[in-house]
Amino acid sequence: MAARLPGLPQGAGRRRVAGTARCSPPLTQVSEQRSLAVVDLSAVRFEIADRVATVWLHRPHRHNAWTGRMHSEYRWVLAHLDALPAVRAVVVTGTPPAFCVGGDSAALAGHAERGAYDAGLATDLALPGYGVAPEFDADFAFQFAMRFPIIAAVNGACAGVGLALALFCDLRFGAATARLTTAAPKLGLPAEYGMSWQLPR
């Protein structure tokens, strides 16, 4: 999907996502020095209505399983929404039938053979919320530093990294179809992304 978005203020530290976006040169300059950009999104979609932005994790054929591209696009969208003063809140959900079932097993295949893990992230990852506090300059923790509340609308299976994403939102609401789980305890592993600290709270 091609989304036409206001660009970021110059020097904001949020840059083009390599391989997932194409940005046109500035077409016009306005009072806040914002330009017009065209961004191609395939794993994340969004819309804005009544000052609320709804963001969909959009890989329904894989139950919205998380990939490096989805991660890169998610950050890119939040960075753009952060630059729009009219946006006062963000709702994150999944394109049915799931919220996010965790990391995509197909995308993880082959790491052992290669002898290294490659998250598949953009080389110039957007950094929404960074710079507020060192503790928030990390995956998902950056959501705590955003200027607007982020609300998770869990509408189906929510596992692994999907659960971590929901826990780092300010509020969570679950549909009757919501199912939350993580594989870490069954494998005798500590929960990733600080979930063992987050869950009791």
Q: Which pLDDT tens digits describe the chain residue by residue (201 residues)?
A: 434 333 333 333 333 333 333 332 222 222 222 332 445 889 999 999 999 999 999 999 999 999 988 998 998 899 899 999 999 999 999 999 999 999 888 776 666 677 665 565 656 666 666 665 555 555 777 888 889 999 999 999 999 899 999 998 999 999 999 999 887 777 777 777 667 767 776
69 belongs to a structural domain? yes
Q: What is the distance between the alpha carbons of residues 77 and 54, in angstroms, rounded to a whole number?
A: 11
Which secondary-structure segment (H or E) carries 198?
Answer: helix 195-198
pLDDT of amino acid 33: 28
9 belongs to a structural domain? no
149 belongs to a structural domain? yes
Question: How many domains does the chain contain in total?
Answer: 1
Q: φ, ψ for residue 157 (rounded to 5)?
A: -60, 135
68 belongs to a structural domain? yes
Q: What is the DSSP string of 84-138?
A: -TT--EEEEEESTT-SB-SB-HHHHTTHHHHTS------TT---TTTTS-GGGSS
Distance of CA 188 to the CA centre of its chain: 28
pTM (two decimals) = 0.72
71 belongs to a structural domain? yes
pLDDT of amino acid 192: 72
| CATH number reported for the structural domain that contains residue 152 in this entry | 3.90.226.10
Boundaries of domain holding 70: 42-198
12 belongs to a structural domain? no
124 belongs to a structural domain? yes
107 belongs to a structural domain? yes
pLDDT of amino acid 134: 58
Please, are residues 124 and 72 in contact by the beta-carbon 8 Å criterion?
no
Please state, in angstroms and as integers, the Cα–Cα distance from residue 101 to each residue in 64, 66, 97, 181, 194, following that order.
6, 8, 10, 9, 18
pLDDT digits (tens, 9 = 90+) for 89-144: 999 999 999 999 998 887 766 666 776 655 656 566 666 666 655 555 557 778 88
